[in-house]
Structure 1
């Protein structure tokens, strides 16, 4: 397993609007645990799509882990104009996605609804696995990409769920 696609809930989909939200401590602990395992299993690349929320939190943790692990990161944005209407704080996050080892844009701009399907197919076809923060019981538009990952064989999927986070939180606060 060489290349892992990182996708998951956006911050507003899980109700996290502040860097000081206490849930982020648990989420980042889970991300750190999972990334360390992936790197120890030989993962060389993390591929991002540049979304706020889970991807940005993984990017933040991954940047911290660069001192201990040898891996690279790429961001493949859907459109070149991503983030043009974002606020300043979100543009700072976008800038971090652009400071990785490899950056590309799938399309210059939106022209038709088929672009998203083609983009998702390209991402899945060019990764060995996925790291996804998603729970099918809390469905979002990630459902389509999650199903694509699950149907590709062979394709490793490491899914972070709300149950995983609850278990980690219980252990975290007990210790």
Structure 2
């Protein structure tokens, strides 16, 4: 069974403060392209930690693909219990939709937040439970994904583990392609 972890930036790390931001469309497009390719290669499960931004957008992509790919499943492994407790109500409602649509949900720690170690434990478990990492991350713009990215690179030194990275250059190529497809040549 092929399982992939998906992660990337949080919205504020990208300067995205509304769901209608065009960047969200292009990120979802990049995720869809990558996920379709992984499905063609036999992937069955995607794991996220439920973090807002790329991970929840990936969940939305999974939900949109499931009618055509019923074998595709989503697991949400949160780093600790009730990670959404301090979020705004509308954000919590969005998160609850993601959780309710997931095929498997669990918390790595059965306590609320106590320390950054819970994030490291979550990252380690996600690597152990997956055969690859799909990450939207550009090393020229550091952000929270760097921790899992660095851990995955070390993990790959010890066993077979694939990393597929989508950079800002890759995202710009999708923007350019989409815009050229929408040009009216008349």
Do these two structures clear the TM 0.5 threshold for a shared fold by scoring above it? yes
Q: Tell me the alpha carbon deviations over residues 97-139 of structure 1, each in whole angstroms, 9 at most, x when there is no partner.
A: 3221111011112334433222211111111111111111111
1:56–1:93 contact (8 Å) kept in structure 2? no
Displacement of 1:148 in angstroms is: 1.3
Partner SS for 1:44? strand
Distance 1:113 1:13 in 2: 19
Distance 1:103 1:24 in 2: 24
The ranges of structure 1 where at least 4 consecutive aligned residues each deviate by more than 6 angstroms after the TM superposition are: none
Q: Provide the TM-score with structure 2 as the length reference.
A: 0.89
Matches within 5 A, 1:95-106: 95-99=96-100, 100-106=102-108
1:138 corresponding residue in structure 2: 141
RMSD of aligned residue pairs (Cα, Å): 1.4
1:67 corresponding residue in structure 2: 67
User: Which consecutive unaligned segments of at least 5 residues does structure 1 have?
Assistant: none
Count how many residue pairs are aligned between Structure 1 and Structure 2: 175
Q: Tell me the alpha carbon deviations over residues 46-99 of structure 1, each in whole angstroms, 9 at most, x when there is no partner.
A: 001000000111111110100111211110111112111111221122112322
Distance 1:86 1:113 in 2: 18
1:125 corresponding residue in structure 2: 128
Partner SS for 1:60? helix
Partner SS for 1:79? coil
Which has the larger displacement, 47-56 or 97-106?
A: 97-106
Partner SS for 1:115? helix
Alignment equivalent of 2:169, drawn from 136, 143, 163: 163
Displacement of 1:167 in angstroms is: 0.8
1:47–1:74 contact (8 Å) kept in structure 2? yes
2:29 corresponding residue in structure 1: 29
1:148 corresponding residue in structure 2: 151
1:47 corresponding residue in structure 2: 47
